[in-house]
Chain A
Amino acid sequence: MTDPMSNFTTLNAKQLAGLDSACGWSLNALELAEAQRYFKKAGREPERGELETLAQTWSEHCKHKTFSGPVSFKAGGKTKKYKNLFKETIVKATRTLNKKWCLSVFTDNAGIVEFGNKGKWGLAFKAETHNHPCAVEPYGGAETGVGGVIRDILGVGLGAKPVLNTDTFCFGFPDTKMKMPKNSHPPERIFRGVVEGVRDYGNRMGIPTAAGGIYFDDGYCLNPLVYVGCAGLIPVDKIDKKVHSGDLIVSIGGRTGRDGIHGATFSSANIDEETTTSAVQIGHAINEKKTLDVIMRARDLNLYNAVTDCGAGGFSSAIGELGSETGARVHLDAARLKDTRIEPWEIWVSESQERMILAVPQAKLKKLAAILDAESCEYCVLGNFPGDGRLLVTHGETSVVDLPMAFLHGGVPNFEKPAVQRVIKINSKTPAKPAKSYGHILKNLLAHPNICSRHSVITQYDHEVQGGTVIKPLQGRYGDGPGDAAVIWPQAATLDLADFAGFAVGHGFNPALGKIDPYQMALQSIDEAIRNLLCTGAEISRTAIMDNFCAASPKDPRVMGDLVLAAEGCHDGAIAYGAPFISGKDSFYNQARDAEGREYPIPISLLISATAPVEDVRKAITMDFKEAGNPVYLAGVCGRGMGGSVYNDMTGPGNNHITPLDMKAAVRLYTTLLIAIKKGWVAAAHDVSQGGLAVTLAEMAFSGGLGAQLDLAGAAKEKGLSALELLFGESPARLALEVVKEHETGFLKLVKGLPVKEIGHVTEEPALLAGDSGNNFFREDIHQLKTRWKRELI
């Protein structure tokens, strides 16, 4: 058999495409031509390892070429051109805001902001997706997703200590009626597998999984989304890293095997029957725990000059990145292997898990080795960073790769993608009065998969390891109320028990809005994430956010149109709230063919993860009602429209109007409310989101084991608002508050002129009573409401 690479420079476009498909590279015609041009000029045929390296380095997964490429967007007869969509929206907002507390943005494995008031620490935060692997092998995909994002935190700067894991999942409804294509897993099976994977990996790592969410929509039946995030603490003097010429390339942790070949390139392909599970890596948490323990000790002893993780592309991208200026000499025979039946190029691109690459000065190797041995952590010295800008990879006498770094990192060609705005019909007629009673609707909403209790998932995660989960995902009198955001007191990283500085992490996510208006979805997701932080008493003026986009194929101009609108929303939202993006990631090609062979894309999905400092974790607040007699207030204006609501999901299409977000008003409102919370005037705060106001108030009541008597006549609302919209509409920028009775006068003075209105009071009697000027909406027993809500989702 002849080597298919032996005549690479002479192949025509069709043959190149055939070779690409046979090798699983996911390179496009332009990139294949560019590679061919390079080798023609070099006057030789490529080694397989070289084309593999290009495929990894130029992959969507590693280079994000769709988002950071040129786009031509058509909407309403106008065309707007972007040279680099990402830089002209998300990055632009961060540059404009130019916050001095942002210590590192968009450059390293994670974004870093200042933490605490001593100028000693930075907080690193990163979120990733692991969608394609979870569709094919849910348990393994979720495990290695968690493992991967933790390594991003271990590999940021000179290494941060992970103190929080987050996860947000999107699945088809567990009881979906959709007919599944051959060889695909039903949503319930994916759900279980993913939860078990996150559980088994996160728990073994000793990192609390304490924030996130689960979202169901049949749009995710064939392509589940698994967002995994991690936050860690890093000393500010360990943020900079620089490889020095002559440093050794040391791989620590797991061994290299044939698992996870082509993970990076496979994520740019649509999943079908032919997709193999060997593209998914195999996780082993304990190996990663060893690397964590080693890195923390070695970092504090200054035993290396740089570190990064082996993620997508394995050695090829980790060593390629670290050596992008110095070049690298790599001897693959030195690698520790899981499996000896492995080709040299496979060693180079394998995505076997739990490996970190360190750049170690020769003189410090002995000390590092002593720590590695003490922690029973394996390692190998793969070569060095010579300083000549050349990447030379060998195995024995054979050359595997010999390329200039400049071509590898600068050579990727790009092309303009067309984008168009979708046309969506908006029905803004006042919704009809429902046939069922409001109490009945409330109970059904509480039991809806997108609203009901997540306890059966959360309690499988060790969400309190490290002893710092101060505001927990499950909170209140019985430890089961649904928290808005987690607050972490990272004592296990600072070891300072007299320092009560912490940070909050919250999320905003609503693809139901995106189906109607991607721009509003982005704005309202930012709003929701910040509102969630506010509910704990976090310093929202110091919010940092991250974007994680998931979309279908960017070859579809409508998908690109959704992306452009959402990215513009990200920009405008970040500016209005003064919340810079510090990191982000995107995942495309989340579409597959359904049982009938039709393309089945996911809806545009944007997860906003937000973090803000909490000055004193002892003063952070929860969402449960605390004391009978306290007044209940609604902050924010109830707007018209049922667009994107869970009610609409339950009842089918109707009014789909979305109240646009008034960001200026929201910022003014939140800033004042934070003052009240910090003064200790607010006993409980809960955001109004999925299910609307009625659901928010019900959750506050049953989580505190108390009732409430409410007259919604006083609430600030848009003219002509129907009772249905008032109770179950999901207009943005609202939260419900329980105010401490004795501070009510002070509170009222503070919020004067703002849409903050009393709507009732907390009662000892365990009943939730809501009406509107004598007009009774419902009277429900809180225990019954809770029973409906607290169902076992899994």
Chain B
Amino acid sequence: MNKPKVIILRGTGTNCDIETLTSFKYVGAEPELVHINQLLSGARKVLDYSIMAFPGGFSYGDDISAGKIFALKMSRLNADFEKFIKTKRPVIGICNGFQILVKTGFLPENKANAQVSTLYNNDCGHFLARWEKFRINKSSPCIFTKGLPDEIDLPIAHGEGKFMIEDKKIMADLLGRELHAITYADNPNGSMHDIAGITNAAGTCFGLMPHPERNFFAHQRPDRPAGAREAVSVGYQFFSNAVEYVKG
């Protein structure tokens, strides 16, 4: 089968695009870096791709709030994005990418695509980059986290990662349907219900604060356990899951 085409959507200030690209390449996909300006000018079309990734970074400086300007830029093309998600093509937003998915209203999923949650300043008041332990929600429909162990290590690197939903009903619905695919074991930022990443009901649109592309290879781990012979680490699974899903 042909390699699935991945659109890695970037804008001014995106900075994890290359390692996201190499990660998708490693799992057998055909990724391409596309600037949002290329979509807006019509030089590239979202619907020509089978997987979409929003990498980390500081899109447009995270001015106003993280991911907000990028989300506004996307709004002109919302019909394409909606169709992409509705046709259950995998979408992953990592860190700033998650912030973008939240600010566009694609996550948490709702009919109006309205922003119903936010990722707010960490409780500590500043950017935080360190390794954390995460719990994988085995009951979640998320396709990206399938087959992962109950507990995994990933690095975080964000200043605005505190996940919040004001409307209790929406939160209850999200928890009830197990859409919180990944949670912090030791909450570093004050997120409600320790939520680190959420998915849509189909499990195909997924946003998370930690960086699976930074724990993709065994040699990226800080503990460098003696005797480790595996080439890849847990982050690999997030990317290969998406490719496997598309291949069916």
* A479:B131 contact, CB within 8 angstroms: yes
Contact partner of A467 (CB less than 8 A), chosen from B35, B61, B220, is B220
Give the contacts of B38-79 with A (CB-CB under 8 A): 38, 56-58, 60-62
The interface stretch among B17-25, B84-92, B196-204 is: B17-25
Residue B111, interface by CB 8 Å: no
Q: Does B139 contact A (CB under 8 A)?
A: no
Is B216 a contact partner of A467 (Cβ separation < 8 A)? yes
> Which residues of A lie under 8 Å from residue B180 when comparing CB positions?
none
Interface membership of chain B positions 182-222, coded 1 if the CB is closer than 8 angstroms to chain A and 0 otherwise: 00000000000000000000000000000101101011101
Q: Complex Cα distance A621/B225, Å?
A: 10
Of B122-130, B141-149, B166-174, which stretch is located at the interface?
Answer: B122-130
Q: At the interface with chain B, which of A173-181, A199-207, A343-351, A667-675? A: A199-207
CA distance A200 to B157 in the complex (A): 12
Chain A residue numbers with a CB within 8 Å of B23 are: 467
Q: Which chain A residues (282-313) contact chain B, with CB distance < 8 Å? A: 284-286, 289-290, 293
A493, closest chain B residue (CB) = B18
- Asked if B15 is at the interface (CB within 8 A of a chain A CB), the reply is yes
Interface digits, A461-488 against B, CB 8 Å rule (1 contact, 0 not)? 1111111111010111101000000000
Bound Cα distance from A529 to B12, whole angstroms? 37
A460, B129: Cβ atoms closer than 8 Å: yes
Whether A390 sits at the interface, judged by CB under 8 Å, is no
CB within 8 Å for A475 and B13 given contacts A203-B127, A374-B35: no
**Given the complex, which residues of A lie within 8 Å of B245, measured CB to CB?**
none
Contacts of B218 in A (CB 8 A): 618
- Near B by CB (< 8 A), chain A positions 613-661 give 617-618, 620-622, 626-627
Verify if B108 is at the interface (C-beta below 8 Å from A). no
Nearest residue (CB) in B for A472 is B222
Q: Given known contacts A470-B220, A477-B223, A479-B223, is B18 in contact with A495 (CB within 8 Å)?
A: yes
Q: In which size bucket is the chain A interface?
A: 35 or more
Verify if A245 is at the interface (C-beta below 8 Å from B).
Answer: no
Q: Are B216 and A464 in contact (CB under 8 A)?
A: no
Given A290-B12, A374-B37, residue A204 in contact with residue B58 (CB < 8 A): yes
B128: min CB distance to chain A, Å: 6
The reply to whether the CB of A581 lies closer than 8 angstroms to some CB of chain B is no
Q: Are B129 and A492 in contact (CB under 8 A)?
A: no
Are B15 and A289 closer than 8 Å at their CB atoms? yes
The reply to whether A286 and B127 form a contact with Cβ atoms under 8 Å apart is no
Q: Which residues of B contact A8 (CB under 8 A)?
A: none
Q: List chain B residues, Cβ under 8 A from A461.
A: 127, 129
- Note all chain A residues with C-beta closer than 8 A to B37: 374-376
Q: How far is the CB of A460 from chain B (nearest CB, A)?
A: 5
Q: Of the candidates B38, B127, B211, B222, which one forms a contact with A479 in the assembled complex, judged by CB atoms under 8 Å apart?
A: B222
In angstroms, Cα B19 to Cα A458, docked, is: 21
Docked Cα-Cα span, A683 to B224, in Å, equals: 10
B213-A467 in contact (CB<8A)? yes
Known: A465-B15, A489-B219. A204 touches B26 (CB 8 A): no
* Chain A minimum-CB-distance residue to B228: A618
User: A376 — nearest CB in chain B belongs to which residue?
Assistant: B12
| Residue A363 interfacial (CB < 8 Å) | no
Are the C-beta atoms of B19 and A492 separated by less than 8 Å? yes
A460 touching B128 in the complex, CB below 8 Å, given contacts A475-B222, A477-B223, A497-B22:
yes
Shortest distance between the CB of B58 and any CB in chain A (Å): 5
What chain B residues lie within 8 Å of A477 (beta carbons)? 223
- Please give, as numbers and ranges, the residues of chain B lying within 8 Å of A467 by CB-CB distance: 16, 19, 22-23, 211, 213-214, 216, 220
B1 interfacial by beta-carbon distance below 8 Å: no
Q: Which residues of B contact A285 (CB under 8 A)?
A: 58, 61
Q: Is B155 in the interface zone, CB < 8 Å from A?
A: yes
Question: Of B25, B38, B62, B223, which is in contact with the most chain A CB atoms at under 10 Å from its CB?
Answer: B223
A-B pairs with beta carbons under 8 Å apart, 17 shown: A204-B15, A206-B15, A286-B61, A289-B13, A374-B35, A374-B37, A375-B12, A376-B12, A455-B130, A458-B129, A460-B127, A464-B155, A465-B157, A477-B223, A497-B22, A621-B224, A626-B226
Q: Which 7 A-B pairs give the minimum distances between C-beta atoms?
A: A206-B15, A467-B19, A286-B61, A479-B222, A492-B18, A479-B131, A618-B219
A467-B19, A495-B18 given; 6 more Cβ-contact pairs under 8 Å: A203-B58, A204-B13, A286-B13, A459-B128, A467-B220, A472-B222
